[in-house]
Amino acid sequence: MIGVESGDRSLAPMRDELIGRLIEARVASRLGARDATLWGPEAEAEARIRLDWVVATAEAEAIIAEVEALRAELQSRGIDRVVLCGMGGSSLAPEVICQRYAVALEVLDSTHPTQVARALHGALERTVVVVASKSGGTIETRSHLLAFEAAYRNAGLDPAAHIVIVTDPGSPLDDGSSAKGYRVFRANPNVGGRFSALTAFGLVPSGLAGANVRELVAEAAAVREQLIADIPSNPALQLTSAIICGLPERYAIVLHECENEPAGISAWIEQLVAESTGKNGQGVLPVAISEHSPEAHQTSAPASSLVINLEWLLEGGKDLSDRELEDFEVLVYAPLGAQLLLWEFATAMLGHCMGVDPFNQPDVESAKVAARKLLDAPRTSESVLGELSDMPRTSVVVADHVVRALNADDALAHAVPQNIAELQAALEASIPSGGYLAIQAYLDRSDEEVSRHLVALRDVLADRLGVPVTLGWGPRFLHSTGQLHKGGPALGVFLQLLDSPAADLPIAASEMTFGQLISAQAAGDRNVLAAHGRPVIALRMRDAHAIASLL
Protein backbone atom coordinates (compact mmCIF):
# COMPACT_ATOMS: atom_id res chain seq x y z
CA MET A 1 0.00 0.00 0.00
CA ILE A 2 1.47 3.31 -1.10
CA GLY A 3 -0.11 6.69 -1.65
CA VAL A 4 0.15 10.47 -1.60
CA GLU A 5 -2.70 12.76 -0.56
CA SER A 6 -2.80 16.57 -0.60
CA GLY A 7 -4.98 18.67 1.67
CA ASP A 8 -5.30 21.79 -0.48
CA ARG A 9 -8.09 20.97 -2.93
CA SER A 10 -7.81 24.41 -4.53
CA LEU A 11 -4.45 23.35 -5.96
CA ALA A 12 -5.85 20.16 -7.51
CA PRO A 13 -6.20 21.67 -11.02
CA MET A 14 -2.59 22.92 -10.89
CA ARG A 15 -1.34 19.55 -9.66
CA ASP A 16 -3.30 17.72 -12.34
CA GLU A 17 -1.92 20.05 -15.01
CA LEU A 18 1.68 19.44 -13.89
CA ILE A 19 1.15 15.68 -13.71
CA GLY A 20 -0.29 15.83 -17.22
CA ARG A 21 2.82 17.60 -18.51
CA LEU A 22 5.10 15.08 -16.80
CA ILE A 23 3.10 12.23 -18.32
CA GLU A 24 3.26 13.81 -21.76
CA ALA A 25 7.05 14.11 -21.39
CA ARG A 26 7.16 10.45 -20.21
CA VAL A 27 9.31 11.48 -17.26
CA ALA A 28 8.51 8.41 -15.14
CA SER A 29 9.13 5.81 -17.83
CA ARG A 30 12.24 7.59 -19.09
CA LEU A 31 13.57 7.66 -15.54
CA GLY A 32 12.85 3.95 -15.26
CA ALA A 33 14.82 3.44 -18.47
CA ARG A 34 17.72 5.51 -17.06
CA ASP A 35 17.39 8.29 -19.63
CA ALA A 36 20.20 10.72 -18.83
CA THR A 37 18.70 13.53 -20.94
CA LEU A 38 15.92 14.32 -18.43
CA TRP A 39 17.86 17.15 -16.76
CA GLY A 40 19.27 18.94 -19.80
CA PRO A 41 22.51 18.75 -21.78
CA GLU A 42 24.73 20.16 -19.02
CA ALA A 43 23.66 17.43 -16.59
CA GLU A 44 23.71 14.57 -19.07
CA ALA A 45 27.30 13.42 -18.52
CA GLU A 46 26.85 13.22 -14.73
CA ALA A 47 23.41 11.63 -14.94
CA ARG A 48 24.69 8.93 -17.30
CA ILE A 49 26.84 7.49 -14.50
CA ARG A 50 24.39 8.05 -11.63
CA LEU A 51 21.15 6.28 -12.57
CA ASP A 52 21.62 2.63 -11.60
CA TRP A 53 19.67 3.21 -8.38
CA VAL A 54 16.49 2.74 -10.44
CA VAL A 55 17.45 -0.96 -10.83
CA ALA A 56 18.99 -1.42 -7.39
CA THR A 57 16.34 -3.88 -6.22
CA ALA A 58 17.25 -6.25 -9.05
CA GLU A 59 20.90 -6.24 -7.97
CA ALA A 60 20.22 -6.64 -4.25
CA GLU A 61 19.93 -10.42 -4.01
CA ALA A 62 23.63 -11.11 -4.55
CA ILE A 63 24.58 -8.48 -1.96
CA ILE A 64 22.11 -9.81 0.62
CA ALA A 65 23.37 -13.38 0.23
CA GLU A 66 26.94 -12.24 0.90
CA VAL A 67 25.85 -10.20 3.91
CA GLU A 68 23.89 -13.08 5.41
CA ALA A 69 26.89 -15.39 5.06
CA LEU A 70 29.23 -12.84 6.66
CA ARG A 71 26.80 -12.17 9.51
CA ALA A 72 26.64 -15.88 10.31
CA GLU A 73 30.43 -16.08 10.27
CA LEU A 74 30.79 -13.09 12.58
CA GLN A 75 28.21 -14.43 15.01
CA SER A 76 30.04 -17.77 15.15
CA ARG A 77 33.07 -15.80 16.35
CA GLY A 78 31.07 -13.95 18.99
CA ILE A 79 31.02 -10.67 17.08
CA ASP A 80 27.64 -9.03 17.61
CA ARG A 81 28.34 -5.27 17.90
CA VAL A 82 28.21 -3.33 14.62
CA VAL A 83 29.75 0.14 14.26
CA LEU A 84 29.26 2.05 11.01
CA CYS A 85 31.75 4.74 10.00
CA GLY A 86 30.25 6.72 7.14
CA MET A 87 29.02 10.17 6.19
CA GLY A 88 25.87 11.47 4.49
CA GLY A 89 23.99 8.82 2.55
CA SER A 90 26.46 6.16 3.72
CA SER A 91 25.19 6.49 7.29
CA LEU A 92 21.68 7.99 7.17
CA ALA A 93 20.05 5.15 5.22
CA PRO A 94 21.42 2.30 7.40
CA GLU A 95 20.48 4.28 10.50
CA VAL A 96 16.82 4.57 9.54
CA ILE A 97 16.67 0.95 8.30
CA CYS A 98 18.00 -0.35 11.61
CA GLN A 99 15.63 1.88 13.57
CA ARG A 100 12.72 0.46 11.60
CA TYR A 101 13.74 -3.10 12.51
CA ALA A 102 14.77 -2.20 16.09
CA VAL A 103 18.28 -3.63 15.74
CA ALA A 104 21.39 -2.06 17.22
CA LEU A 105 23.71 -0.12 14.93
CA GLU A 106 26.21 2.39 16.29
CA VAL A 107 26.74 5.14 13.73
CA LEU A 108 29.95 7.16 13.87
CA ASP A 109 29.48 10.11 11.51
CA SER A 110 31.27 12.75 13.54
CA THR A 111 34.81 13.91 14.21
CA HIS A 112 33.95 15.15 17.70
CA PRO A 113 36.68 13.59 19.88
CA THR A 114 34.29 12.55 22.66
CA GLN A 115 31.98 10.76 20.24
CA VAL A 116 34.88 9.02 18.50
CA ALA A 117 36.38 7.97 21.83
CA ARG A 118 33.04 6.51 22.95
CA ALA A 119 32.88 4.34 19.83
CA LEU A 120 36.48 3.17 20.29
CA HIS A 121 35.97 2.21 23.93
CA GLY A 122 33.34 -0.43 23.22
CA ALA A 123 34.03 -4.15 23.44
CA LEU A 124 36.40 -4.39 20.46
CA GLU A 125 36.70 -8.19 20.61
CA ARG A 126 33.01 -8.48 19.71
CA THR A 127 32.87 -5.47 17.35
CA VAL A 128 32.80 -5.36 13.57
CA VAL A 129 33.44 -1.96 12.03
CA VAL A 130 31.88 -1.18 8.67
CA VAL A 131 33.78 1.62 6.94
CA ALA A 132 31.66 3.04 4.10
CA SER A 133 32.88 5.65 1.62
CA LYS A 134 31.95 5.87 -2.04
CA SER A 135 34.99 7.95 -3.01
CA GLY A 136 37.29 6.17 -0.60
CA GLY A 137 38.82 9.51 0.35
CA THR A 138 36.34 11.00 2.83
CA ILE A 139 38.51 12.59 5.53
CA GLU A 140 36.15 11.74 8.39
CA THR A 141 35.81 8.10 7.42
CA ARG A 142 39.52 7.63 6.71
CA SER A 143 40.29 9.14 10.13
CA HIS A 144 37.84 6.73 11.77
CA LEU A 145 39.48 3.80 9.99
CA LEU A 146 42.94 4.84 11.21
CA ALA A 147 41.60 5.15 14.76
CA PHE A 148 39.99 1.69 14.78
CA GLU A 149 43.02 0.04 13.16
CA ALA A 150 45.21 1.41 15.95
CA ALA A 151 42.69 0.44 18.62
CA TYR A 152 42.52 -3.17 17.39
CA ARG A 153 46.29 -3.48 17.23
CA ASN A 154 46.66 -2.00 20.72
CA ALA A 155 44.14 -4.56 21.97
CA GLY A 156 46.10 -7.42 20.42
CA LEU A 157 43.42 -8.05 17.79
CA ASP A 158 43.80 -8.45 14.03
CA PRO A 159 42.05 -5.53 12.29
CA ALA A 160 41.40 -7.70 9.24
CA ALA A 161 39.16 -9.94 11.34
CA HIS A 162 36.99 -7.01 12.44
CA ILE A 163 36.86 -4.44 9.61
CA VAL A 164 34.52 -4.51 6.61
CA ILE A 165 34.80 -2.00 3.77
CA VAL A 166 32.04 -0.71 1.47
CA THR A 167 33.32 1.44 -1.37
CA ASP A 168 33.36 1.87 -5.13
CA PRO A 169 35.64 -0.45 -7.11
CA GLY A 170 39.06 1.03 -7.71
CA SER A 171 38.78 3.71 -5.04
CA PRO A 172 41.81 4.40 -2.80
CA LEU A 173 39.97 2.68 0.02
CA ASP A 174 39.34 -0.38 -2.16
CA ASP A 175 42.98 -0.76 -3.16
CA GLY A 176 44.40 -0.19 0.31
CA SER A 177 41.88 -2.43 2.04
CA SER A 178 42.38 -5.37 -0.28
CA ALA A 179 46.10 -5.22 0.41
CA LYS A 180 45.41 -5.38 4.15
CA GLY A 181 43.14 -8.40 3.81
CA TYR A 182 39.90 -6.64 4.75
CA ARG A 183 36.54 -7.93 3.55
CA VAL A 184 35.49 -5.50 0.80
CA PHE A 185 32.00 -5.02 -0.64
CA ARG A 186 32.30 -3.16 -3.95
CA ALA A 187 29.22 -1.07 -4.63
CA ASN A 188 27.77 -0.18 -8.01
CA PRO A 189 29.80 2.90 -9.03
CA ASN A 190 26.92 4.26 -11.14
CA VAL A 191 24.89 5.26 -8.08
CA GLY A 192 25.36 8.56 -6.24
CA GLY A 193 25.83 8.38 -2.49
CA ARG A 194 22.51 9.91 -1.45
CA PHE A 195 20.59 7.58 -3.82
CA SER A 196 22.34 4.48 -2.43
CA ALA A 197 19.87 3.36 0.26
CA LEU A 198 19.01 0.10 -1.51
CA THR A 199 22.58 -0.66 -2.62
CA ALA A 200 25.54 -2.10 -0.72
CA PHE A 201 25.88 1.14 1.27
CA GLY A 202 22.45 0.66 2.82
CA LEU A 203 22.24 -3.13 2.85
CA VAL A 204 25.65 -4.23 4.17
CA PRO A 205 25.70 -2.46 7.57
CA SER A 206 21.95 -2.91 8.06
CA GLY A 207 22.08 -6.62 7.23
CA LEU A 208 25.10 -7.22 9.48
CA ALA A 209 23.21 -5.53 12.31
CA GLY A 210 20.28 -7.92 11.81
CA ALA A 211 17.76 -5.84 9.85
CA ASN A 212 15.45 -7.75 7.53
CA VAL A 213 16.88 -6.26 4.35
CA ARG A 214 15.16 -8.90 2.21
CA GLU A 215 11.79 -7.56 3.31
CA LEU A 216 12.98 -3.98 2.80
CA VAL A 217 14.06 -4.64 -0.79
CA ALA A 218 10.84 -6.56 -1.49
CA GLU A 219 8.81 -3.54 -0.35
CA ALA A 220 10.68 -1.35 -2.82
CA ALA A 221 10.49 -3.87 -5.66
CA ALA A 222 6.73 -4.18 -5.16
CA VAL A 223 6.14 -0.50 -6.05
CA ARG A 224 8.77 -0.02 -8.76
CA GLU A 225 6.36 -0.61 -11.65
CA GLN A 226 3.99 2.01 -10.22
CA LEU A 227 6.81 4.54 -9.99
CA ILE A 228 7.92 4.16 -13.62
CA ALA A 229 4.39 4.28 -15.08
CA ASP A 230 3.30 7.39 -16.98
CA ILE A 231 -0.13 7.48 -15.34
CA PRO A 232 -1.87 9.98 -13.00
CA SER A 233 -1.90 7.53 -10.08
CA ASN A 234 1.92 7.25 -10.03
CA PRO A 235 2.82 8.18 -6.40
CA ALA A 236 6.12 9.77 -7.46
CA LEU A 237 4.33 12.07 -9.90
CA GLN A 238 1.78 12.91 -7.20
CA LEU A 239 4.45 13.70 -4.60
CA THR A 240 6.44 15.80 -7.06
CA SER A 241 3.39 17.81 -8.07
CA ALA A 242 2.31 18.25 -4.43
CA ILE A 243 5.68 19.78 -3.55
CA ILE A 244 6.06 21.93 -6.67
CA CYS A 245 2.49 23.25 -6.57
CA GLY A 246 2.36 23.55 -2.78
CA LEU A 247 5.51 25.65 -2.79
CA PRO A 248 5.33 28.22 -5.56
CA GLU A 249 8.76 29.46 -4.51
CA ARG A 250 10.05 25.90 -3.99
CA TYR A 251 11.24 26.62 -0.53
CA ALA A 252 10.57 24.54 2.64
CA ILE A 253 8.97 21.18 3.35
CA VAL A 254 8.42 20.22 6.98
CA LEU A 255 8.90 16.46 7.37
CA HIS A 256 6.65 15.19 10.16
CA GLU A 257 7.06 11.55 11.20
CA CYS A 258 3.70 10.58 12.57
CA GLU A 259 3.14 9.42 16.12
CA ASN A 260 4.43 5.98 17.16
CA GLU A 261 6.47 5.57 13.98
CA PRO A 262 10.18 4.68 14.31
CA ALA A 263 12.17 7.88 13.82
CA GLY A 264 14.80 8.58 11.22
CA ILE A 265 13.40 8.69 7.70
CA SER A 266 12.98 12.46 7.82
CA ALA A 267 16.76 12.90 8.30
CA TRP A 268 17.40 10.67 5.29
CA ILE A 269 14.86 12.58 3.16
CA GLU A 270 16.39 15.84 4.35
CA GLN A 271 19.83 15.07 2.92
CA LEU A 272 18.41 13.52 -0.27
CA VAL A 273 16.21 16.50 -1.16
CA ALA A 274 18.48 19.30 0.09
CA GLU A 275 21.66 18.10 -1.59
CA SER A 276 19.87 17.19 -4.81
CA THR A 277 17.90 20.43 -5.28
CA GLY A 278 19.95 23.08 -3.46
CA LYS A 279 21.98 24.68 -6.23
CA ASN A 280 21.94 27.49 -8.78
CA GLY A 281 20.15 29.71 -6.25
CA GLN A 282 17.24 27.26 -6.02
CA GLY A 283 16.37 24.49 -3.62
CA VAL A 284 13.72 22.80 -1.49
CA LEU A 285 14.63 23.17 2.18
CA PRO A 286 13.57 20.10 4.20
CA VAL A 287 12.91 20.60 7.93
CA ALA A 288 12.88 17.39 9.96
CA ILE A 289 10.64 17.59 13.04
CA SER A 290 9.28 15.18 15.64
CA GLU A 291 5.77 14.52 16.90
CA HIS A 292 6.47 16.90 19.78
CA SER A 293 7.72 19.83 17.68
CA PRO A 294 5.51 22.95 17.58
CA GLU A 295 4.96 22.60 13.82
CA ALA A 296 3.23 19.26 14.46
CA HIS A 297 0.54 20.92 16.58
CA GLN A 298 -0.04 24.28 14.95
CA THR A 299 -3.06 24.90 12.77
CA SER A 300 -0.91 26.83 10.33
CA ALA A 301 2.66 26.69 9.10
CA PRO A 302 5.18 29.37 8.11
CA ALA A 303 4.15 30.86 4.76
CA SER A 304 7.19 29.28 3.16
CA SER A 305 6.44 25.77 4.45
CA LEU A 306 4.50 22.72 3.37
CA VAL A 307 4.01 20.00 5.99
CA ILE A 308 4.55 16.45 4.72
CA ASN A 309 3.28 13.78 7.11
CA LEU A 310 5.18 10.49 6.80
CA GLU A 311 3.48 7.18 7.63
CA TRP A 312 5.52 4.00 7.38
CA LEU A 313 2.55 1.62 7.53
CA LEU A 314 4.11 -0.97 9.77
CA GLU A 315 2.33 -3.99 11.21
CA GLY A 316 -0.03 -4.53 8.31
CA GLY A 317 -0.83 -0.90 7.59
CA LYS A 318 -3.31 1.64 8.95
CA ASP A 319 -6.73 2.93 8.11
CA LEU A 320 -6.08 6.40 6.71
CA SER A 321 -9.50 6.91 5.16
CA ASP A 322 -10.65 9.36 7.85
CA ARG A 323 -7.43 11.38 7.94
CA GLU A 324 -8.23 15.09 7.53
CA LEU A 325 -5.50 17.27 6.07
CA GLU A 326 -5.07 21.02 6.31
CA ASP A 327 -4.45 23.06 3.16
CA PHE A 328 -0.73 23.17 3.94
CA GLU A 329 -0.43 19.40 4.53
CA VAL A 330 0.47 16.38 2.41
CA LEU A 331 0.30 12.74 3.54
CA VAL A 332 2.76 10.16 2.21
CA TYR A 333 2.10 6.59 3.30
CA ALA A 334 4.04 3.45 2.41
CA PRO A 335 6.25 0.83 4.08
CA LEU A 336 9.87 1.93 4.49
CA GLY A 337 11.33 0.18 1.44
CA ALA A 338 8.68 1.76 -0.75
CA GLN A 339 9.20 5.17 0.90
CA LEU A 340 12.91 5.04 0.10
CA LEU A 341 12.38 4.33 -3.59
CA LEU A 342 9.44 6.75 -3.83
CA TRP A 343 11.50 9.65 -2.48
CA GLU A 344 14.42 8.83 -4.77
CA PHE A 345 12.12 8.95 -7.81
CA ALA A 346 10.34 12.09 -6.61
CA THR A 347 13.64 13.87 -5.90
CA ALA A 348 14.93 13.11 -9.39
CA MET A 349 11.63 14.43 -10.77
CA LEU A 350 11.94 17.59 -8.66
CA GLY A 351 15.28 18.21 -10.33
CA HIS A 352 13.64 17.83 -13.73
CA CYS A 353 10.88 20.31 -12.84
CA MET A 354 13.29 22.82 -11.30
CA GLY A 355 15.89 22.59 -14.05
CA VAL A 356 18.71 21.47 -11.75
CA ASP A 357 21.03 18.47 -11.87
CA PRO A 358 19.98 16.31 -8.88
CA PHE A 359 23.16 14.22 -9.01
CA ASN A 360 25.91 16.79 -8.56
CA GLN A 361 26.97 18.74 -5.47
CA PRO A 362 29.09 21.68 -6.66
CA ASP A 363 29.22 23.48 -3.30
CA VAL A 364 29.91 20.54 -1.00
CA GLU A 365 33.63 20.51 -1.76
CA SER A 366 34.12 24.19 -0.88
CA ALA A 367 33.91 23.65 2.89
CA LYS A 368 36.24 20.66 2.64
CA VAL A 369 38.81 22.73 0.77
CA ALA A 370 38.56 25.54 3.33
CA ALA A 371 39.05 23.07 6.19
CA ARG A 372 42.06 21.48 4.49
CA LYS A 373 43.67 24.92 4.05
CA LEU A 374 43.40 25.54 7.77
CA LEU A 375 44.80 22.12 8.62
CA ASP A 376 47.64 22.36 6.10
CA ALA A 377 48.74 25.86 7.15
CA PRO A 378 51.89 26.17 9.31
CA ARG A 379 51.17 25.50 12.96
CA THR A 380 52.60 28.88 13.90
CA SER A 381 50.21 30.68 11.59
CA GLU A 382 48.04 33.25 13.36
CA SER A 383 45.00 32.12 11.36
CA VAL A 384 45.37 28.51 12.46
CA LEU A 385 45.85 29.52 16.08
CA GLY A 386 42.78 31.72 15.84
CA GLU A 387 40.57 28.92 14.50
CA LEU A 388 42.00 25.89 16.31
CA SER A 389 43.20 27.21 19.66
CA ASP A 390 42.10 25.17 22.66
CA MET A 391 41.91 28.17 24.99
CA PRO A 392 38.44 28.81 26.47
CA ARG A 393 36.30 30.86 24.15
CA THR A 394 32.84 32.16 24.80
CA SER A 395 31.92 33.14 21.33
CA VAL A 396 32.74 33.47 17.68
CA VAL A 397 30.46 35.95 15.96
CA VAL A 398 30.01 37.44 12.55
CA ALA A 399 29.80 41.18 11.92
CA ASP A 400 29.23 42.14 8.30
CA HIS A 401 30.05 38.55 7.33
CA VAL A 402 33.56 38.77 8.83
CA VAL A 403 34.36 36.10 11.39
CA ARG A 404 36.02 37.29 14.61
CA ALA A 405 37.02 35.25 17.64
CA LEU A 406 36.16 36.70 21.03
CA ASN A 407 38.05 35.45 24.08
CA ALA A 408 36.33 35.33 27.43
CA ASP A 409 37.96 38.58 28.61
CA ASP A 410 37.40 40.45 25.35
CA ALA A 411 35.79 43.86 25.74
CA LEU A 412 33.12 42.80 23.24
CA ALA A 413 32.14 39.66 25.15
CA HIS A 414 28.98 41.39 26.31
CA ALA A 415 27.67 40.89 22.73
CA VAL A 416 27.43 37.15 23.33
CA PRO A 417 23.78 36.06 23.75
CA GLN A 418 23.26 35.03 27.37
CA ASN A 419 19.73 33.64 27.12
CA ILE A 420 17.06 32.66 24.63
CA ALA A 421 15.64 36.19 24.43
CA GLU A 422 19.01 37.71 23.51
CA LEU A 423 19.69 34.92 21.03
CA GLN A 424 16.24 35.38 19.51
CA ALA A 425 16.86 39.11 19.12
CA ALA A 426 20.22 38.53 17.43
CA LEU A 427 18.67 36.04 15.02
CA GLU A 428 15.63 38.19 14.24
CA ALA A 429 17.97 41.01 13.27
CA SER A 430 19.73 38.73 10.78
CA ILE A 431 17.01 36.56 9.20
CA PRO A 432 15.71 38.10 5.97
CA SER A 433 12.03 38.24 5.07
CA GLY A 434 10.94 34.74 4.15
CA GLY A 435 14.22 33.35 5.48
CA TYR A 436 15.16 30.37 7.61
CA LEU A 437 17.50 29.45 10.46
CA ALA A 438 19.91 26.50 10.33
CA ILE A 439 21.33 25.30 13.65
CA GLN A 440 24.68 23.62 13.06
CA ALA A 441 25.74 21.58 16.08
CA TYR A 442 29.40 20.55 16.07
CA LEU A 443 28.77 18.58 19.25
CA ASP A 444 28.67 15.01 20.53
CA ARG A 445 25.55 13.51 18.96
CA SER A 446 25.83 10.38 21.10
CA ASP A 447 25.25 12.43 24.28
CA GLU A 448 21.51 11.99 24.78
CA GLU A 449 21.19 14.94 27.16
CA VAL A 450 22.87 17.30 24.70
CA SER A 451 20.59 15.98 21.96
CA ARG A 452 17.49 16.69 24.05
CA HIS A 453 18.71 20.23 24.80
CA LEU A 454 19.33 20.88 21.09
CA VAL A 455 15.93 19.61 20.03
CA ALA A 456 14.33 21.79 22.71
CA LEU A 457 16.34 24.79 21.49
CA ARG A 458 15.26 24.16 17.89
CA ASP A 459 11.62 23.85 18.93
CA VAL A 460 11.68 27.04 21.02
CA LEU A 461 13.32 29.05 18.23
CA ALA A 462 10.91 27.64 15.63
CA ASP A 463 7.97 28.62 17.81
CA ARG A 464 9.26 32.11 18.60
CA LEU A 465 10.75 33.07 15.24
CA GLY A 466 7.92 31.70 13.09
CA VAL A 467 10.33 30.64 10.33
CA PRO A 468 11.62 27.22 9.22
CA VAL A 469 14.34 26.07 11.63
CA THR A 470 16.59 23.10 10.84
CA LEU A 471 18.94 21.19 13.14
CA GLY A 472 22.04 19.63 11.62
CA TRP A 473 24.89 17.78 13.30
CA GLY A 474 28.35 18.79 12.21
CA PRO A 475 30.24 17.68 10.29
CA ARG A 476 27.73 15.21 8.86
CA PHE A 477 25.42 17.92 7.47
CA LEU A 478 28.36 19.13 5.33
CA HIS A 479 27.73 16.02 3.23
CA SER A 480 24.03 16.77 2.79
CA THR A 481 22.22 20.01 3.64
CA GLY A 482 25.50 21.94 3.39
CA GLN A 483 25.02 21.98 -0.37
CA LEU A 484 21.72 23.84 -0.06
CA HIS A 485 23.14 26.25 2.52
CA LYS A 486 25.64 27.55 0.00
CA GLY A 487 24.08 26.79 -3.38
CA GLY A 488 20.39 27.31 -2.59
CA PRO A 489 18.40 30.52 -2.08
CA ALA A 490 20.29 33.17 -0.07
CA LEU A 491 17.71 33.09 2.72
CA GLY A 492 19.53 31.30 5.52
CA VAL A 493 21.05 32.45 8.78
CA PHE A 494 23.37 30.00 10.49
CA LEU A 495 23.85 29.35 14.19
CA GLN A 496 27.01 27.33 14.85
CA LEU A 497 27.29 25.66 18.25
CA LEU A 498 30.66 24.33 19.34
CA ASP A 499 32.07 23.11 22.63
CA SER A 500 35.51 22.62 24.18
CA PRO A 501 35.89 18.87 24.79
CA ALA A 502 37.53 17.94 28.07
CA ALA A 503 39.95 15.64 26.24
CA ASP A 504 41.18 15.60 22.66
CA LEU A 505 41.98 12.46 20.68
CA PRO A 506 44.91 12.08 18.28
CA ILE A 507 44.26 10.69 14.82
CA ALA A 508 46.51 7.66 14.40
CA ALA A 509 49.31 7.99 11.82
CA SER A 510 48.63 11.72 11.63
CA GLU A 511 49.82 14.95 13.23
CA MET A 512 46.20 16.03 13.64
CA THR A 513 43.74 15.47 16.45
CA PHE A 514 40.02 14.98 16.09
CA GLY A 515 39.50 18.21 18.03
CA GLN A 516 41.56 20.13 15.49
CA LEU A 517 39.75 18.44 12.63
CA ILE A 518 36.23 19.28 13.80
CA SER A 519 37.28 22.87 14.62
CA ALA A 520 38.76 23.24 11.14
CA GLN A 521 35.61 21.80 9.56
CA ALA A 522 33.43 24.28 11.44
CA ALA A 523 35.74 27.19 10.62
CA GLY A 524 35.98 26.16 6.99
CA ASP A 525 32.23 26.04 6.58
CA ARG A 526 31.87 29.31 8.49
CA ASN A 527 34.33 31.02 6.14
CA VAL A 528 32.62 29.70 3.01
CA LEU A 529 29.18 30.76 4.26
CA ALA A 530 30.51 34.22 5.02
CA ALA A 531 32.09 34.41 1.56
CA HIS A 532 28.64 33.64 0.11
CA GLY A 533 27.13 36.49 2.16
CA ARG A 534 25.33 34.16 4.57
CA PRO A 535 25.16 35.54 8.15
CA VAL A 536 26.69 33.27 10.81
CA ILE A 537 26.49 33.44 14.59
CA ALA A 538 28.81 30.92 16.23
CA LEU A 539 28.87 30.15 19.96
CA ARG A 540 31.64 28.10 21.52
CA MET A 541 30.87 26.78 25.00
CA ARG A 542 33.17 25.22 27.54
CA ASP A 543 30.54 22.49 27.97
CA ALA A 544 27.80 21.57 25.48
CA HIS A 545 25.37 21.08 28.35
CA ALA A 546 25.42 24.86 28.73
CA ILE A 547 22.85 24.91 25.92
CA ALA A 548 20.27 24.32 28.64
CA SER A 549 21.14 27.72 30.14
CA LEU A 550 19.88 29.42 26.99
CA LEU A 551 16.39 27.96 27.39
Give yes or no for residue 403 having a pLDDT over 50: no
pTM: 0.92
Report the distance separating Cα 538 and Cα 496, nearest Å: 4
Report the distance separating Cα 283 and Cα 243, nearest Å: 12
What ranges do the domains of the chain cover?
Answer: 3-33+228-354, 54-216, 364-550
Q: In Å, how far are 37, 115, 378, 389, 403 from 392, measured between CA atoms?
A: 54, 20, 22, 8, 17
Give yes or no for residue 364 having a pLDDT over 80: no
Instruction: Report the range of poorest mean pLDDT among 132-146, 357-371, 481-495.
Output: 357-371
Q: What is the pLDDT of residue 415?
A: 56
pLDDT, tens digit, for every residue of 294-319? 888 776 666 668 888 887 655 444 55
- pLDDT tier for residue 374 given thresholds of 50, 70 and 90: low
Q: What is the pLDDT of residue 492?
A: 94
Q: What is the pLDDT of residue 306?
A: 86
Q: What is the pLDDT of residue 264?
A: 83
| Strands ordered across the beta sheet of 183-186 | 106-108, 81-85, 127-133, 163-167, 183-186
As a whole number, mean pLDDT of residues 89-107 equals 95
On average, the pLDDT of the chain sits at 87
Q: What is the pLDDT of residue 434?
A: 87
Q: What is the pLDDT of residue 325?
A: 84
- pLDDT tier for residue 399 given thresholds of 50, 70 and 90: very low
For strand 285-289 and strand 305-311, is the pairing parallel, antiparallel, or unpaired? unpaired
Q: What is the pLDDT of residue 378?
A: 47
Q: What is the pLDDT of residue 413?
A: 40
Q: State which fold the 3-33+228-354 domain adopts.
A: Rossmann fold (3.40.50)
- pLDDT tier for residue 249 given thresholds of 50, 70 and 90: low
- pLDDT tier for residue 260 given thresholds of 50, 70 and 90: low
pLDDT, tens digit, for every residue of 324-347? 788 888 999 999 999 999 999 999
As a whole number, mean pLDDT of residues 455-479 equals 93
Higher pLDDT, 61 or 408: 61
- pLDDT tier for residue 532 given thresholds of 50, 70 and 90: confident
For the 54-216 domain, the top CATH level (class) is alpha beta
- pLDDT tier for residue 398 given thresholds of 50, 70 and 90: very low
For strand 329-333 and strand 285-289, is the pairing parallel, antiparallel, or unpaired? unpaired
pLDDT, tens digit, for every residue of 104-118? 999 999 999 999 999
Q: State which fold the 364-550 domain adopts.
A: Rossmann fold (3.40.50)
Give yes or no for residue 479 having a pLDDT over 50: yes
One-letter identity of residue 297: H
Q: Is 545:504 a contact under the CB 8 Å cutoff?
A: no
pLDDT, tens digit, for every residue of 205-238? 999 999 999 999 999 999 999 999 999 999 999 9
Higher pLDDT, 79 or 396: 79
Q: Is 351:277 a contact under the CB 8 Å cutoff?
A: yes
Q: Is 305:285 a contact under the CB 8 Å cutoff?
A: no
As a whole number, mean pLDDT of residues 359-365 equals 84
Q: What is the pLDDT of residue 412?
A: 36
Q: Is the fold of 3-33+228-354 the same as that of 364-550? A: yes
Report the distance separating Cα 266 and Cα 310, nearest Å: 8
Q: Which residues contact 524 (CB under 8 A, 6 or more apart)?
A: 367, 368, 369, 370, 371, 372, 373, 374
Q: What is the pLDDT of residue 393?
A: 34
As a whole number, mean pLDDT of residues 128-156 equals 96
Q: What is the pLDDT of residue 426?
A: 84
- pLDDT tier for residue 386 given thresholds of 50, 70 and 90: very low
Nearest to 417 by CA among 546, 543, 306: 546
Q: In Å, how far are 167, 200, 543 from 189, measured between CA atoms?
A: 9, 11, 42
Nearest to 86 by CA among 203, 176, 205, 182: 205
